[in-house]
Amino acid sequence: MNNPGIDLEIWKQLREKWTKLDASGHELKVDFQLIAHPTEKNNILAIDVVQHIDGEPITETVQRTAGEAYATLGIAGLSMEQLVQALKQMMHEGYRQAKYKDMELSVTMSPTSATSGELQGILAMADAPVQSHIVVNYRYYYVLNALREKMIESTGDTWKQVRAVYRPDELEFYFEY
């Protein structure tokens, strides 16, 4: 694969993960989506590595340079409150995929390096074991990562994982340290 400046260590980690999954008998399909600068098509800012593991999508967003796409996405310099509002709007759009209006959308992001993170999206019934995995993309990663950076600046705390849960007009965060 042509590497557009993406950290090779991340690719090694992904290859090792896939080898282990394959050896364990998991079904694995991987799709790659290049995220180019809107006006410079040869300027690849990130890659979404969509891994379908036993039919469940998990997206690993790998950025070329930490924070490089913030300006392009319009989130550079936003306050924590503004980033939360941007995420709330994105989650509302994702929530519209719900078949039933008493479902909630949950997006979990786990940073895997300084320039990558794993995303998983789930639409679930609040009081029932009904859930559907959905593909989430780089936009969620960048906003959640920018929120993570703001949190580190303000509290000094870092976390292993954040889960944002959206119900109509309500957004809650759950952090694992």
CA dihedral sign, ordered 8, 120, 152, 84: positive
pLDDT along the chain (177 residues), means of 10: 66 93 95 90 90 96 89 93 95 78 89 92 81 92 92 83 90 89
Q: Would you state the pLDDT for residue 99?
A: 66
- pLDDT score recorded for residue 1: 42
Domain count, the chain: 1
pLDDT at 107: 96
Q: What is the pTM of this model?
A: 0.88
Residue 64 lies in a domain: yes
* Predicted local distance difference test score (pLDDT) of residue 37: 87
Question: Quick check: 163 and 86 in contact, CB under 8 A?
Answer: no
Look at residue 16 in the predicted model and tell me its pLDDT.
Answer: 95
36-67 burial, b at 16+ Cβ within 10 Å, e below that, comes to eeeeeeeebbbbbbbbebeeebbbbbbbbeee
Question: What CA–CA distance (Å, rounded) separates 20 from 135?
Answer: 22
Return the pLDDT at 4. 56
Q: Is 79 part of any domain? A: yes
Token couple for 151: 């949190």
Q: Give the structural domain span for 93.
A: 8-176
Residue 2 lies in a domain: no
The length of the chain, given as a count of residues = 177
Residue (of 164, 131, 129) closest to 146 by Cα position: 164
Asked whether residue 1 is assigned to any structural domain, the reply reads no
Q: How far apart are CA 163 and CA 174, in angstroms?
A: 5
**What are the Cα distances from residue 167, in Å, to 91, 111, 125?**
9, 24, 10
Position 87 in a domain: yes
Residue 103 lies in a domain: yes
Three-state SS annotation for 75-134 = CCCCCHHHHHHHHHHHHHHHHCCCCCCCEEEEEEEEEEECCEEEEEEEEEECCCCCEEEE
